[in-house]
Every structure is written in C-alpha cells, then in structure tokens.
Amino acid sequence: MNRIIIFTLLGCLLWTGCENAMSSNPSVDTTPQKPKNIILMVGDGMGVSQITAGLYTNNNQLNLERFPYIGLHKSYAYDDLVTDSAAGATAFSCGIKTYNGAIGVDKDTIPVETILERAEKEGLATGLVSTSTITHATPASFICHNKIRKQHEENAADFIKTDIDLFVGGGKNYFDLREDDRNISMELKKKGYNVSDFFQEETNDLVMDPSAPLAFFTANTDPLAAQDGRDYLAGISGKSVAFLAERGKEKGFFLMIEGSQIDWGGHANQSDWIVAEMHDFDKAIGQVLDFAEKDGETLVIVTADHETGGYAINKGSTMDSLETAFTTDYHTADLIPVFAYGPGAEDFSGIYENTAIHAKMMELFGFGAKNESE
Ligand code: MG
Ligand code: ZN
C-alpha cells in the first residue's frame, strides 16, 4: 500500500517535472544562438582564491554562481609566463599574445584593431567602464595603441580617435591638465560628447542621456578603493547597459566593465582590499545579469586577466574570518576562470588560450576572427 502511494507520488513529481520542462521548451527554442550584445567583465587580478574569499565573506553567495558555463583560460603573455594587465587585456581586445606592457599593439609594436574599434566600424554602440583611471592598462587596451603602458596622456588622446559611445572611470587630469596643453575634454565636447565629472557621492544620481555619447569621469586621478567609499560600479554598470542598449538598439553593443582594484589589493597583499573589491565587482555582475536575463540577446562573459598575489586561504579560516597568505606582490601564472551567460555562452566551457576569448566574441558577433594568432 505504502509503495503504491510512493510510486503515485513519484509519478506525479516526474509528470510535473516533464510538464515544466515541456512548457519551458518553446522559450528555449526561440533563444537566438548569436548574441546581439556582448558585455565582457574583467576582474583585474581575480583568480579562484579571490573569488573564494569574496564568496565566503558574502554569506557564501555570489552572483557568479548564476552563470551556467564556466571555463579556464591560459593567461600567459608572448614574452612571459606571468602576464601583466596590458598584455592580458590586449589578448582579449585584439586576440594576440603580446609582450608585457603592450597596449593594443603586437609583439613587434604594430597597432592591431581592437574588438571595440571593429564594433564601432560595424555600427554597434560601444563602452568602457572602470574603477581605475580610464587610461589604465585594461580599459586602454580596448581603444588605445601604445608601445608602453604607463603613458596615460597618450592613451587619453586615443579616446578622441574612436567614436566610443560611453566611457566611465578616473583620470580626468590626463584629458584636461596635459603637458601638451591639449584639452581632450573640450575636444570631446566639440565632437558632440556630454562630458560629466561628478565624483563619488553624486554618481548614483547621474542621469545618462542616450541622445549623445558620454564621457564620465569619476576622479581626477585614481578612483578611491571600495573600502574607502567608492560605490559607483554597480549603479553605473546598470545605467551603462541601459544607455548602450538604447544607442545600440539597431545593431547591438559591446561593453567592457572592469573591477580594477582586486589587482591593487593583491599587489598590496591586503586581503580586506581584495574582498571589498570582489563584493563591489560582484554587485555589478548582478546588475548586468539582471539586464541580460530580461533582454535574452546579451552574452555576458566574466573573467580576469591574471591572478595577483599568489593569494591563498589557509587552515584556521572560517567563513567570517579568513586566514590568508600571499606568495608575491606581483601577478602569478594561474589558469583563470571564465564565466558565461546568454547566447553563445556554451562556447566558453573548456580550457583555452586567453586569445580565444577574443576569437569567440568575434565569431559570435559575426565579425570573423582575423586577428587570431593561435
Ligand atoms: Mg586593470
Ligand atoms: Zn597588477
């Protein structure tokens, strides 16, 4: 008798399960295989230990857990097994292994077209959002071409050469207070940009008007660390996605969002800095995923350029209190996780070169992968 009841219950459960699967099938079938929009999110210096620390100190929960596909990339540079952020980002932006310090140029210092520049040519809307200066290696590698990474003023001058729709980050001084007396902010205004320089407190009140391209400065030099009160990344990420969806409503958009300072916490060997930046970056990931879930045509990729610090969580740790250690104040050669959600996300499972992330994005955009070096 009991058995009959159990089997009947089991049958009902199975039937309900099947019905749910069947009723959700039509929506799966209509999901486009190719994305209209791609959002690449880079947590600079974010290795598995950084993610682990962020997860356990956030009540054992991160938005990163919402991604259905996860892979690993090989982060090494052309000239060094341990990459820097310039070569690491140039692998994503241009699809080439290059030397450490190279911004959008190949191993012979020849400029290579970036995915952002190509997207602009193809009529897509484009954007860069960062919690460092916008001229720093990671964002710069998507729009600048420079043989040496730390030339911030030269990098700033490259922003006027591409019709980027939106950029948000620090480093206003590199545009306005320059040794060559050019005022790139004025040049951007003349080109039709809205240029805003609301700092810190006001950023969440900022209205992004999609009728004109926008340059939005969050600091004169480096933005603050999250633990010192910087709090714009999640809000600005949500607004940037809405802004670009409007400007790219016909052909789509490409957006790179960087959580820049996970790396800085690693260089400083400060676990609290890393954890605060991880929580900040993960909130931004949540905003972007909320958009992508509703939109259905947006591919979201989250990865890092490299791990920083040789960061480890040791015996004696609890979820609330981590016992951490570092092996270096520089980067390491670890394989780096890649998380993907949306049309084309399944292409990102497996183990592959960092340059393959570029190739996959180019193919999914239908641009072809002509820069692929592998
Ligand atoms: Mg960076
Ligand atoms: Zn670094």
Residue positions annotated with a catalytic role: 85
Cα of 291 to ligand 1 centre, how many Å?
24
Looking at 11-25, 58-72, 180-194, 332-346, which range is the least confident one? 11-25
Cβ atoms of 113 and 151 within 8 Å: the answer is no
Whether domain 32-365 has CATH 3.40.50.300: the reply is: no
Residue with structure tokens 């596909």?
Answer: 69
Cα of 109 to ligand 1 centre, how many Å?
20
Ligand closest to Cα of 44 equals: 1
Cα of 303 to ligand 1 centre, how many Å?
12
> What confidence category does residue 30 fall into, taking pLDDT thresholds of 50, 70 and 90?
low
What is residue 17's predicted lDDT score, i.e. its pLDDT?
40
Cβ atoms of 140 and 94 within 8 Å: the answer is no
Asked whether residue 192 carries a pLDDT value surpassing 50, the answer given is yes
Helix intervals (H) in 48-114:
48-56, 85-94
**Percent of the chain scoring above 70 in pLDDT:** 88
What is residue 111's predicted lDDT score, i.e. its pLDDT?
98
Ligand closest to Cα of 137 equals: 1
Cα of 84 to ligand 2 centre, how many Å?
6
CA angle 149, 119, 121 (to 5 degrees): 105
162 CB-contact burial (10 Å; exposed 0-12 / middle 13-18 / buried 19+)? middle
Across the chain, what does the average pLDDT equal? 91
What is residue 370's predicted lDDT score, i.e. its pLDDT?
52
Asked whether residue 16 carries a pLDDT value surpassing 90, the answer given is no
Q: What is the pLDDT of residues 134-153, one digit of tens each?
A: 999 999 999 999 999 889 99
